[in-house]
């Protein structure tokens, strides 16, 4: 029976978490060549490559990410053992690894994930933001437990996933107080020719807004297309144009960015999906999120009931 050398695993894990041989060498009080040699020994014993080289940088391979995740669990348990023997109360919360599509508004993400941090059995969150295709790749290799996105997993994904509708909200237009006061009169016709701060074209919100405006034959003057929803709202706060956000976070938008509602885009909806590799959501942290969303405040409608699947991608 082959035994795993945990010293070698520790050297690998330190490089993986710190991102460089130099930083790992400083922490472990070893030379970079010594650490590199031990990692190569680990790779030979496992029969897989854990890192690939990109120029002068080391990047984890797909298998390396899996090994790093197991290593984190192993060394987390080791720390808990030490804390228990020392009389300290260990943190037994299982980490909930969440992927969040960067197109989702930050205030909506904050509202959505909050329940996973509250109450008994609360999860320790590890949140990664990125593009949907990258996050779905992480989901496939169990690097994340769930991906929250503004649309279901696309048919082109070569991984069996299940998309659960967890939140649906109306859409409200906002602007700085003076501009909002002017636009509120005659809304939505007042949007014609008005400077608009729009999300980028690759987002569900932008597609929804384009369709809503086109159906009403309205053509605002797009002043900027901004990928980061928080930056977009800061521009709106400065009076540079009108912008849209989910109605469910309207109070937060008004309070944080000192803007005013202009009007609600009747019939337009913003949706959030939890994408998993399981037909029914079972992780307690994810269930806490989805159930809180289904009981959400005025302006939202229930998506899934206890994680019931709303769409299947085979």
Cα(262)–Cα(264) distance, integer angstroms: 7
Share of the chain above pLDDT 70, in %: 88
Q: Are 194 and 183 in contact (CB under 8 A)?
A: yes
Cα(255)–Cα(251) distance, integer angstroms: 6
User: How is residue 154 annotated by DSSP?
Assistant: P
Cα(134)–Cα(127) distance, integer angstroms: 14
Cα(90)–Cα(81) distance, integer angstroms: 8
Share of the chain above pLDDT 90, in %: 43
pLDDT in tens, 12-69: 988 988 888 888 888 888 888 989 999 999 999 889 999 988 777 788 998 988 898 8
**pLDDT at residue 93 in the model:** 57
User: Which domains does the chain show, CATH number per domain?
Assistant: 6-85 (1.10.10.10), 95-167+271-313 (3.40.190.10), 169-269 (3.40.190.10)
Cβ neighbours for 205, distance < 8 A, ≥ 6 positions apart: 103, 105, 150, 171, 199, 244, 270
pLDDT in tens, 140-184: 878 888 999 999 998 877 778 889 998 899 999 999 999 999 999
Asked, as a colleague might, if the bond just before 188 is cis with ω within 30 of 0, I would say yes
* CB-count burial class (<10 Å; 0-12, 13-18, 19+) for 256: middle
Q: How confident is the model at residue 305 (pLDDT cuts 50, 70, 90)?
A: very low
Mean pLDDT of 99-106: 91
Q: How confident is the model at residue 198 (pLDDT cuts 50, 70, 90)?
A: very high
Q: Are 125 and 98 in contact (CB under 8 A)?
A: yes
Phi, psi of 219 (to 5 degrees): -130, 85
pLDDT in tens, 230-245: 999 999 999 999 999 9
Is 34 in a helix, a strand, or coil? helix
The sign one gets for the Cα dihedral 262, 196, 259, 202 is: positive
- Please write down the HEC assignment for all residues of 92-124: CCCEEEEEEECCCCHHHHHHHHHHHHCCCCCCE
Q: Are 249 and 122 in contact (CB under 8 A)?
A: no
**pLDDT at residue 91 in the model:** 55
Q: How confident is the model at residue 120 (pLDDT cuts 50, 70, 90)?
A: low
């Amino acid at each position: 029976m082959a035994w795993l050398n945990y010293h070698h695993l520790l050297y690998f894990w330190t490089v993986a978490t710190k991102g460089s041989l130099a930083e790992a060498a400083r922490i472990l009080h070893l030379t970079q060549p010594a650490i590199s040699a031990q990692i190569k020994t680990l790779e030979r014993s496992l029969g897989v490559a854990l890192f690939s080289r990109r120029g002068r940088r080391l990047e984890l391979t797909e298998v390396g990410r899996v090994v790093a995740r197991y290593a984190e669990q192993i060394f987390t348990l080791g720390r808990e053992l030490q804390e228990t023997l020392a009389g300290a109360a260990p943190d037994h919360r299982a980490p909930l690894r969440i992927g969040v599509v960067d197109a989702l508004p930050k205030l909506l993400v904050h509202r959505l994930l909050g329940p996973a941090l509250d109450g008994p059995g609360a999860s320790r969150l590890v949140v990664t933001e990125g593009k949907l295709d990258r996050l779905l790749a992480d989901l496939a290799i169990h690097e994340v437990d769930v991906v929250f996105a503004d649309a279901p997993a696309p048919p082109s994904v070569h991984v069996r996933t299940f998309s659960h509708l967890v939140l649906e909200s109306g859409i409200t237009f906002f602007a700085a107080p003076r501009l909002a006061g002017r636009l509120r009169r005659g809304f939505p016709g007042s949007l014609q020719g008005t400077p608009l701060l729009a999300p980028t074209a690759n987002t569900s919100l932008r597609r929804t807004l384009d369709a809503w405006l086109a159906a009403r034959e309205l053509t605002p003057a797009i002043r900027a297309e901004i990928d980061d929803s928080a930056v977009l709202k800061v521009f709106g706060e400065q009076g540079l144009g009108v912008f849209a956000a989910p109605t469910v976070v309207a109070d937060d938008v008004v309070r944080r960015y000192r803007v005013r509602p202009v009007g609600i885009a009747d019939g337009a909806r913003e949706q959030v999906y939890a994408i998993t590799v399981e037909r029914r959501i079972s992780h307690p942290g994810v269930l806490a999120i989805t159930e809180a969303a289904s009981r959400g405040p005025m302006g939202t409608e229930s998506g899934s009931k206890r994680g019931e699947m709303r769409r299947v991608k085979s």
